[in-house]
Amino acid sequence: METVAYVAIVIALWVLAGLAAVVVLLARQGYRHWGWYLMGAVLGPLFIPIAAERARRDVAVLERGEGSPRNEDPDRLTVVVGVDGSAESDQAVREAGRLFAGGGAAFVLVSVLDPDAAEFPDDPRRRAAHDLLTDRAGWLPEGAVLEIGCGQPARVLLEIARAEAADVLVLGRRGRGFSRRLLGSVAERLAHEAGVPVVFPPAAAGHQPVDRTTGQATRPVHRS
């Protein structure tokens, strides 16, 4: 029995070492695919140098649309908006349009994918992100430059904001699947490190349905 218990402990420590490498080194950099956890569990401590190498990889911009706020009038306001398809980010797009549209501002809509998306040019996540950004750009009268990056979301948004000489960042307090009550880790990091104003739009009152064409909340029809 002692031998069995010893073997069980060794196996448990082996698996935990690999999973810890995934959580500490990869998950923080935006790696979310379940395959990394499986690989970590199998390779155990042997996975640590693999995870460390992956974690050191730089932020990558996978796609960038035409137009550049940097090459326009230097007095023109550049607004970078984080987009992930969540209700919070949709509200961020609407708020950016409400606050800055019509004043000659240049908009940059950014979607951030897992670093794995950079491995394959035909990754379907790229097409989905492109379609999402194209749709949300239609909510803004002036349109927007579309950018798709991969890596840890806060790092990607910071790098793109700096590259575009952004004057303001607009993003939701939380992304998909999180409560609106607390400030998300990405939003919190950007608020401290962006070096420019960061706007967090208020939640849409009453969870009003949204017109997907205009991005505006619809009003209920009252019948007499």
Mean residue pLDDT across the chain: 78
Q: What would the pLDDT profile of 11-23 be if each residue is shown by its tens digit?
A: 999 999 989 988 8
Q: Could you give the CA distance from residue 175 to residue 194 in angstroms, rounded to a whole number? A: 18
Nearest 10 degrees: CA dihedral of 112, 145, 138, 83?
Answer: 20
pLDDT for position 136: 92
State both tokens at 140. 């803004």
pLDDT for position 40: 86
Classify residue 88 as exposed, middle or buried by CB count within 10 Å of its CB (0-12, 13-18, 19+): buried
Task: Evaluate whether 141 touches 97 at the Cβ level (below 8 Å).
Answer: yes
Task: Evaluate whether 55 touches 26 at the Cβ level (below 8 Å).
Answer: yes
pLDDT for position 184: 61
Task: Evaluate whether 160 touches 75 at the Cβ level (below 8 Å).
Answer: no
Q: Which of 109, 101, 61, 63 is nearest to 83 (CA)?
A: 109
pLDDT for position 200: 86
Residue 198, helix vs strand vs coil: strand
Task: Evaluate whether 188 touches 200 at the Cβ level (below 8 Å).
Answer: no
Q: Which of 210, 206, 202 is nearest to 172 (CA)?
A: 202
Walking along the chain (224 residues) 10 residues at a time, the average pLDDT comes out as 84 90 78 83 88 74 67 75 89 90 86 80 86 92 88 86 90 57 64 85 54 41 36
